[in-house]
Structure 1
Amino acid sequence: MPIDAPTYVVRSADRHLYKALKLGQLCYILNSRQMGKSSLRVQIMKKLQAEGFVCSAIDISVIGNFQITLEQWYAGFAYLLVSGFNLLDKVNIRTWWRERELLSPVQRLSEFINEVLLTAITEKIIIFIDEIDSVLDLQFDSTAFFSIIRTCYNKRADSSDYQRLNFVLLGVATPSQLIQDKNRTPFNVGQAIQLKGFQVHEAQPLLQGLTKRVSNPQTLLKEVIGWTGGQPFLTQKVCKLICSSESPIPTNEEAVYVEELVRSHIIENWESLDQPEHLRTIRDWILNGKQRTVELLKLYQQILHQGQVVAVDSPEETELLMSGLVVKQGDYLQVNNRIYELVFDERWIEKYI
């Protein structure tokens, strides 16, 4: 969402991330797509920059991963840092990189952080690394990259400069998928920030648009979240549908109105109505390129039939959680919301098992 969006919903994750970064804690936000990670980053960056922090968002997916060499990838990351922190007039990154070709790309990136970034910028620095899951498609081992982040964190004990440097990792993956080496991972020293769906008391900014449609917008908002489970993308989408609809909303019939709107504009013929894409993203996560598709569908089928199942932290559970189709509530897994239940129903499951 735009930085000045009046309908941005502040969640507990906003407060936790802001507090953790103020304390200098390395943070990571790993969740399913379209849960508001990027919007959260934009808002927190704005807040921290107003307090004197120097921040940059690095989308590492733009470096590419198909047929890219290890050296090209690390050089690309260094260039994104130079560009993101507006250092192009202070260092010729191509020349700087070539002059150190006797060093490995990993060493060069470490040297760049030490010699260039921490020297050119004297304020507190936060590097937001977005689309961190894109490293999973690299043709080489990305362990050393995470080791650099961990090393920067460890250097805080001996260097005040590194006490000024911090990282936030954002993406759709689990820590164990990204790196398994417990001695080199930054995740066991970092702070996990949990992103959950909107709660009604958090979603009050959304009332701004709904008040134009009804005299009791709170009731309408509760009905919306009753369908979306507070899933950020779906909640915003249903609210937008309500605001753009010209049909009247009869008093005390908000539940019927929202159900008819959701069924006709989202659920029925969902594959053709799914613009911008959301439901198809979940479908593709489950079906495309996954070795455990049948296992995922059988687990989801069990959750759908029983309402919830006890979580046992299996690989299949992790995949389902990352798809966004299910959520973990306490010790149980359950379908994220009513819309998903009706879209990804028994008939849909049977097509692929």
Structure 2
Amino acid sequence: MLASSSNFYQVGASLPIDAPSYVQRQADEEFYQKLRSGKFCYVLNSRQMGKSSLRVQTMQRLQQEGTICAAIDLTGIGKHNVTQSQWYGGIVYTLVESCQLEDKFDFNWQIWWREKQEILDPVMCLRLFIEQVLLEKIQQPIVIFVDEIDRVLSQDFSSDDFFALIRFFQNQRVDNPKFERLTFALLGVATPSDLITDKTQTPFNIGEGIELHGFRMSEVQPLIKGLEGKVSNPQKVIESILDCTGGQPFLTQKLCKFMVEESEKDNPRSVAEVVIARIIENWEFQDNPEHLRTIRDRILSNEQRASYLLELYQQIRQLGEIDSNNSIEVSELQLSG
């Protein structure tokens, strides 16, 4: 039934927890196991690599074991004309909602926040909220997921104190065992050096980076199921798709969907022909949901650096790969997608 429709595949946005086309990768197990053991983790990668879907799946697994998971999506807090107090207040509100503190414990967070704000700065208020409210009312392990973490780069105030606070909580485990029940997971499109200016306060050197690679042939059985009964040789078709997309999740799901649609025509085209006709030709008009335009805009966002990034990309096209040398430009090219 599922394979009878191209709706089997989802192009763009987070996949639902029960999405039949969700592909489990090595990162799924690594992310889950490290958070389960209480390690601070971060998943920093380009857009549409499946970070948010990974978060949804990992939260589900942790919650099934009794871990309390809170999800903070920074796009929901805003960035323009948002004060530091409003930003931290938005985080507290999201934590209250995610952990159901008002319903379960009759906790009026607004009164609490106003009282603390009168005498303390917002960073200290968040610290006290987590230390004196969250960890006191909830006795289970707590994982706080912060998605779209790169949104902090466009704020009108420094986010260094926020990252320093995460480091503080990790370091407190030595003196206060209750902090062992708390950990964080950050997800977004940035490098650690982008996110924090004060390198002495960075939490990233005590955290675990999770590598998120493209789909591999050994992992894509869920995608093959959507092609069964539609194309004559699903295995060969998925191999051709991965060869074209390099396993990039968004493009792979999109091309799978296209091939199902193609199978319903009298003279279905090959994967290569569909790529040319529906992705490459007139690409700006056909790029919906947006993917290639996002890559273009990110590369061209800095005029001084754009020419060098394009030169690097040309080298990769010609040589297949280059030595990164941990350069800023190579990291930026990778984050562009």
TM-score (norm 2): 0.91
AA in 1 matched with 2:112: W
Residue matched to 2:6: none
Residue matched to 2:300: 287
Find the residue that maps to 1:29 and give its secondary structure.
Answer: strand
**Distance in 1 (alpha carbons) for counterparts of 2:66 and 2:330:** 41
Paired residue for 2:128, among 111, 119, 138?
A: 111
Q: Is the 8 A contact 2:231 2:260 kept in 1?
A: no
Query: Aligned runs of 1:306-325 on 2, under 5 Å?
Result: 306-324=319-337
Q: Is the 8 A contact 1:182 1:188 kept in 2?
A: no
Residue matched to 1:156: 173
Residue matched to 1:350: none
Higher relative contact order (CA 8 A, sep 6+): 2
Q: Is the 8 A contact 1:13 1:195 kept in 2?
A: yes
Does the alignment pair 1:127 with 2:140? no
Does the alignment pair 1:94 with 2:110? yes
Find the residue that maps to 2:72 and give its secondary structure.
Answer: strand
Deviation at 1:91, TM superposition (A): 2.1
Find the residue that maps to 2:186 and give its secondary structure.
Answer: strand
Query: Aligned runs of 1:110-259 on 2, under 5 Å?
Result: 110-245=127-262, 246-247=264-265, 257-259=270-272
Residue matched to 1:351: none
Count of aligned positions: 319
Q: Is the 8 A contact 1:249 1:257 kept in 2?
A: no
AA in 2 matched with 1:147: A
AA in 2 matched with 1:78: V
Residue matched to 1:272: 285
Residue matched to 1:344: none
Gaps of 5+ in 2: 1-14
Structure with the larger helix share: 2
Deviation at 1:215, TM superposition (A): 3.6
Deviation at 1:273, TM superposition (A): 0.7
Deviation at 1:180, TM superposition (A): 3.8
Does the alignment pair 1:303 with 2:319? no
Residue matched to 1:32: 46
Query: What is the alpha-carbon root mean square deviation over aligned residues?
Result: 1.5
- What is the percent sequence identity of the aligned residues? 53
Find the residue that maps to 1:72 and give its secondary structure.
Answer: helix
**Distance in 2 (alpha carbons) for counterparts of 1:128 and 1:82:** 14
Q: Is the 8 A contact 1:213 1:249 kept in 2?
A: no
CA separation of 1:129 and 1:321: change in aligned 2, threshold 3 A: same
Give a deviation string over 1:258-306, Cα, whole Å, max 9, x none.
Answer: 1111111111111111111111111111113565222222222232233
| Runs of at least 4 residues off by over 6 Å | none
